[in-house]
Amino acid sequence: MEPKPIDWEKLASIIETHRTRKWNLIPLLQEVQETFGYIPPESMEPIAEALNMSPAEVQGVVTFYAGFSLKPKGKCVLKVCRGTACHVKGSRSILRFVQNELGLQEGETSEDYQFTLETVACLGACFLAPTMMVNKNYFGRLNPTKVSSVLNQYGKSKEDDGSP
């Protein structure tokens, strides 16, 4: 399956609202990331043009921040915590379990663009360890059964926008 085609008009209108304001690069990128789920690589040149920067400079900023991605992500982005507290509580097996269930390695996206699997250093919810996030929702005190039910919850409802 292809990722959703880019809505060029929408992209252009986002860029327009930030035109010629060089300091707007990060807010502009955030808006693009927010809208499309990633920064389409083809958008770097028009963005650079609008802010009077060189495209390579825009790329430098995009690749510097973990929050920006040049690859399309799945509808549901899973962030499994690999921080110290979660590690102690067995997050390694949680990660393995998720990897097996989804058939994905870290950083990968499923072919149907339903799931993207990522790891993070600490989700800031250590008291719930082991934890993971799916899009903007936290899930804590995980065990394989709970993970399965979370995955099902997101996997079955392909039509919706990723909220349970």
Partner 1 sequence: MESIFLTINGQKVACLSGDSILIAAEKNSIPIPILCYHPDLKPHGACRLCLVENEKTGRLMASCVTPAAQDMVIQTASPRVLHHRRNIVRLMMAEHPESCIVCSKGNHCELRRIAASLGVGDSGLYPMPNFPSYEQMNPFIIRDLSKCILCGKCIRADHELVVAGAIEYNHRGFKPRPATLYERPLEESICTFCGTCVSICPTGALSVKNTAYVGTPDQETDSICGFCSVGCSLSMGVAGQKVVDVNPSKSRASVNGATLCVRGHFANDYLNSPARLTRPLVRSKDGEGKSIHAPAAWDEALDAVVMKLSAIKREFGAGSVAFIGSSKCSNEENYLFQKIAREIFETPNLVTLSYDTGQALAARIDARTGGMCRVNPLAELEGARVIVVVNADPGRSVPVVDYHIRRAAKKGAALILVNPWKIELNRWAGAWMRPDYSRPSGPMASDFLLALAKGLVADAGYDRGSVEQATDGFDAFYDMISRRNGIAGEAVDAAVRLMKNQKIAFVIGADTLCYPDGAQTADAVANLLILTGGIGAKRSGLFVLLPESNTLGAMDMGMMPDHLPGRVRLDDGGNIGPDMEGFIEGIESGRIRAAYIMGENPARSLPQPDRVAAALKKLDLLVVQDILYTRTAAMAHFILPGAAAAEKAGAFTNLEGRIQMFSPVVQPPGEAKADWEILAQLIWKMGHPEHYQSLEKIRQEIRRLVPMYQGLGSHLQGWIANNPKGGKPAFAMDFPPVSVALDAAHPFIARLSAPRHHLGGGTRTGRSERVRAYGDHGAVEISPDDCRVLGLEVCGKVRLVSEFGKIERSYVQSSRPPKGMAIVPMGENQNDAMGLAGLSGKNRPASFGWTVSRVGIEKI
Chain residues binding partner 1 by CB under 8 A are 41, 44-45, 49, 52-57, 59-60, 63-64
Nearer to ligand FES, 32 or 129 (CB): 129
- Contact yes or no for 38/70 (Cβ under 8 A): yes
The count of residues interacting with ligand FES (CB under 6 A) is 12
CA dihedral 88, 90, 96, 97 (to 10 degrees): -160
Of 31, 122, 135, 137, which lies in the binding site for ligand FES, with binding defined by CB under 6 A? 122
Query: How far apart (Å, rounded) are the C-alpha atoms in residues 127 and 98?
Result: 21
The one of ligand FES, partner 1, none whose footprint includes residue 86, by CB under 5 to 8 A per kind, is ligand FES
Nearest approach in angstroms of CB 112 to ligand FES is 28
DSSP codes joined into one string, 12-38 = HHHHHHHTT-GGGHHHHHHHHHHHHSS
Of 13, 84, 152, 163, which lies in the binding site for ligand FES, with binding defined by CB under 6 A? 84
Beta strands in 48-127 (DSSP E): 76-81, 115-120
- Contact yes or no for 83/120 (Cβ under 8 A): yes
Nearest approach in angstroms of CB 91 to ligand FES is 7
What does the binding site for ligand FES look like in residue numbers (CB under 6 A)?
81, 83-86, 122-126, 129, 131
